[in-house]
Amino acid sequence: MAGLAESGSNPDVDLLYDINGLAKDAPPWFDRVMEYVGEYGVLVGLALLVLWCWWGVRRRGGEDAPASVAALVWAPLAAAVAVLVNVPIRGFVERPRPFNDHQGLEVLVGGKTDYSFVSDHATIAMALGVGLFVANRKFGLVGIVLALFAGFSRVYMGVHYPTDVVGGFALGTAVALLLSPLAMALLTPLMTAVGRSRRGAWLIRARGRSGAGALIPGARRESAGAEERDLAA
């Protein structure tokens, strides 16, 4: 893999220069925006997307709430597992960053001294996006689009080759999907137990929700009393 970085006569390097060339032509303020978005913004956006989806799940409640929350918990866990899997991959491949082997790149973020393949940002972003897709299709599609943009931004910033990003996408997707059945088998009973506890129930359902979005017992009694009064009338 490291050999791909030694010459500019291959599609990987050519695409690197094409995408990174956009940074040279863009105004400085736009590059600063891309720097922030590519380094932090997309990952923060994905985290907020997971929280938004969780907030909607707990407000709806329902019998499937523990399983839905379990799937949302798996998304960040999948990202963490994927990054751990990437540690030996990086050490084995030992691919230098593109700016170490190629001149004329517009590098927007300095201080990158670790290896290039596989991109941690692309791995984390896609694991979050695919993990979110397992929990909720609509939110997941948005997450995957954000992950694709995260990968593009890494090449735009001059800190990764396109194949670093593709490798990250593949790794994040593989971990999120292949380990999902095992994760759900472990996390769903745990979230069910949390939902039944006094202190942790709010994590699964909003107050006043139980079962399939039913009213709380007190509200049921009031409703029953109102029906009895109507019948008596």
Amino acid residing at 68: S
How far apart are alpha carbons 198 and 200 in whole angstroms? 6
Domains assigned to the chain: 2-204 (1.20.144.10)
Reduced DSSP (H G I as helix, E B as strand, rest coil) percent helix, strand, coil of the chain, to 5: 75, 0, 25
Using a cut of 0.75, tell me whether the model's pTM lies above it.
yes
What is the block-wise mean pLDDT of the chain (233 residues), using blocks of 10 residues? 50 89 89 90 94 87 84 94 94 88 83 86 95 92 95 92 95 95 93 82 69 38 44 40
Beta strands in the chain (DSSP E): none
Q: Is 204 helix (H, G, I), strand (E, B) or coil?
A: coil
Model pLDDT, residue 214: 37
- The two tokens of residue 188 are 């769903």
Amino acid residing at 212: A
Model pLDDT, residue 208: 57
- The two tokens of residue 15 are 């695409």
How far apart are alpha carbons 33 and 2 in whole angstroms? 30
